[in-house]
Structure 1
Amino acid sequence: MNKTIIININGIVFHIEEDAYEILRSYMTEVKRHFAYSTDNEEIVQDIENRLAEMFTERLTEQSKQVIVQQDVVDITARMGNVNDFDVEFDDQPFNEMRTAHRSLFRDPEDRMIGGVCSGLGHYFDIEAKWVRLIAVLATILWGTGLIVYLILWMVTPRAKTRADRMAMKGEPINLQNFKRNLDEEIDALQQNLNQAGTQLRPGLNATEDFLREAGDRTGTFLTKVLGIIFKIVGAFVIFVCCSLLFSSLLGLLFIMGFFDGHELDTFPFNVINPDYQSPIYFSAAILIVIPLIALILFALRVLFNRKITGKTTSFALLIIWITGLGIAVFYGAKVGSEFKSEARYEQQSLMKAYPVYHIKLNKQRFFSKNDSLNYNVTFNGRNGKVKMASDIGEIKLYVERSDDSTAFIVRDFSARGRDFESALRNAQKSGYEFVQADSILTLDKYLHFPPQQAYRDQEVKVTLKVPLNTRLIFDGEINSIIRDINLRDCLPEDSEWETPSEWIMTTTGLKCVNDSSNEGIR
């Protein structure tokens, strides 16, 4: 008893004996190897598989059996032919010998005027398609039936989709030799059509090539002119912008170096620079800005007028000047950076008069009068008796804590940076922060203040207000900008104004809002 396996050919399932399957598999392997280098080898192999499936189905139906045996495979592959048969020359055989198979009716999609019905009938009856078309036209004109018959045949006649269909339509035996011959004929026809198309299209292609070349030349000329105009407009705009920036830079340099001797520019980043370093740093900054602007202007002029404006000597000199300015900026920048190397701090403690309630306000004045300077024992020489306060630098941090006894006092912890500890300590000691107590009203400064020529060195003050237990404090809303650890607005309604005061009380765990229900009973 032979072993039976199941195979699938063209979507049709067959039961085949194992020895028969081996013969079929070897046969298909040879076929695939032979057609492997053909342009449409996949289509050819699929057509062959389709034909094999049809022949196996016919054999099983004729013999009323379910399994393909070895003899079936041998007979069918013999009818299909072997690839070794291609060594035989078929060109010398009579044409009629190649068309001994039964013809099938298909619509020919390769030779059609409308649907390929007439050409299919021509192949079926072995006459030229033009005579069939003539008969159809006469039948339509004389009897009116030609069009109806044509439409009916168009609907019921299948189209020759595969190569096997086309071979059956022409009455050619569906075997490997005819598959090969059909493929070679298609390739020859395609090559011939391409050659004819090339010959017919060559004059038109030459004319098109000339037209495109001329159009390209004209388009290139037009684009060149347009781009030239655009470059000139852009160049003129660049020159205008660079000249404006150059003028502004020079004017800014003169302003910085000459306005109030440079002492009024106490805002960041100007206040970081030591007074002794201001002139070389400003000068180097001007060089770093001006030289690139001059180079950009010269380049724009060269593009605008299409000629060289400066020589190599001028360009080299500008480069040397710019590198020199860069070196100066790096040198003095490093010296300024070294002023932030070390940190130092010192502390001042001042007693206050004790009151059960304090009203904390914020002093937003930016200048001290001469009398204020005398009262606060400020002895450095401010211009016109005024000492300027920093606005955007010098951070102030206010903390409120409980004192250990019944006394109230303020601790001011100043810190700053310098090249070494001594210079950092001097910078911290030059910082000033004052407060004024008038009865129960305590007014705190909003800003640190420095001598007129004091450079910024990360000055900071931590102000700690220590009050006894159960002391009430009413903070103005502006105090929220310097106070830490609490948010005064947490003690206010959501729609209240920014300046609205809030009342707090010192408890054993710190400040609590008086309006907080959890603080009831604490006095």
Structure 2
Amino acid sequence: MNKTININLANTFFHIDEDAYIKLQRYLDAIKRSFTDSQGKAEIIADIEARIAELFSERLQHERQVITSKEVDEIITIMGQPEDYLVDEEIFDDAPKSHKSTSAKSHKQLFRDIDRKYIGGVCAGLSYYLGIDVLWVRLLFILVTVLSSGFGIFIYILFWILVPEAATTAQKIAMTGEPVNISNIEKKIREGFDDVTEKVKSVDYDKMGASVKKNSKSFFDSLVSVLMFLLKVLAKFIGIIVLIVAAIVLISLFVGLFTAGTIDIWGAQPWREFIDITVNAPVWLISLLTFFAVGIPFFFLFYLGLKILLNNLNSIGNFAKFTLLGVWLLSIIGLISLGIKTATDYSFNALSTETESIAHSPLDTLEIRTVEAIGLKNRYYRDSDFDIVINDGEKMIYREDMEFRVEQSPDEEIRIEIEKKSQGRNYDDAFERADDIEYSYKLENNVLYLNNYLTTDYKNKFRDQEIEITIYIPENAIVRFHNSTYYNIDGHIKNNMNYYSSGLANHVWKMDNLGVLNCLDCPVEDWNDENDAANKEADTLQKTDSIVKDSVKIDSVTLKNQ
């Protein structure tokens, strides 16, 4: 049974075994004696105690764990024996003597250098970690900020939040990559005094404290060490890949949000017009929800990459984690809701029908032509389904989606029936959008001019609006399809030539009593050529069948003879 003691070391509370306490007390007393006449003794002792407290904290798995002699021995091994670093003023008069050290060169740790900071010390800290001049790091941040439309500022703030500052002497030493021991702590503090002589500054404390202890390792220990090293290298490589990919995605989202999503810095963006005209939601809201829905997971990937590369990275905290998770869930729910709402806007179909009589004599040939938009050539936006045009300063949806067909009239009048079709979230909404479609035609000198396009107000959005026209002509009426109707003729018009759609163009047709159009100017050889082709095909099949039968007979005779 061992007695435990509660101690306060550098304002940190520890439970320590009595034997360990005695050993630690003797160690600290020896350190104090070694710096009896040293300038800055109090600061040196305080930083050494802070470093020891930090090492103890790293080794504790929970707050009630008791520090034993084993932990104290480990700390002494890292920090070094006080007699190894005892500095005598007489040494400075001659060549510095070599002393043994128990610590080897340690790895650099990333901290913010507040001593050389302009803003937060991020660039100064990175210059130590990367081993390059701080000026180049600052220029790199400026370059990234300019090329990424301000994303460099976001990266800088992120490092400012996540990377701790080098507040203690031990952290400042770890930032440079030097081992945090008594020698370097003393050296760092001495450098901070203005009255330290150049002689003291020139002392090579690394050589004075160099004490290399070689530990024998077995073959298997060496193999394990090599494997662990390779795994660490692989982990660092994966961390770099994750960091780069996440950074590229975040930069893209950042640029998309603050240049195209909310501000027209680069002018009107076609994809913005497409979203605005097809989705019933503001573009800035969709951009913001997309930024959070995609950006937050990649932010955590970015943080994971930093965590793999930097061991001393600050945690963002549970509050920030749960806040980001909540924002991400709300963004996902928002995008799903918008998707459902947009799909609902296309769920119902409705049509608005207008029928008018045409003042035209059935004895005269009626010519049908289609006309293009003359005053709407300058398109604000072009798409495969619709365009956006400016008419008298107002935005309009423009679409070339019109088909017409010809059927027999039940009486002696010529009529035109216009069906306007649209989709909507319900029947009333779809009918209202269909009714708002603007379409016109005119009859002039026995020529019926049909617009090959439709228009509707921009606020109606694009909901697959289209026009279908039916022209009713009486029996024996003659109609001619002009060449301009080539792409607008319906493919189901009954005719005696079995022409399909565009084939009816550039011909004159007469309506019979069965509702079938009979061609008056189609070449007769067309019909004869079709009959000849059919007859030739029948003759070929008949000859082939005869040859096959004869072959079978020959084979039968051959078999009998055998």
The bucket for the TM-score relative to the shorter chain is 0.3 to 0.5
Which of these two proteins has the greater Rg computed from alpha carbons?
Answer: 1
What TM-score, normalized by structure 1, do the two folds share? 0.44
TM-score (norm 2): 0.42
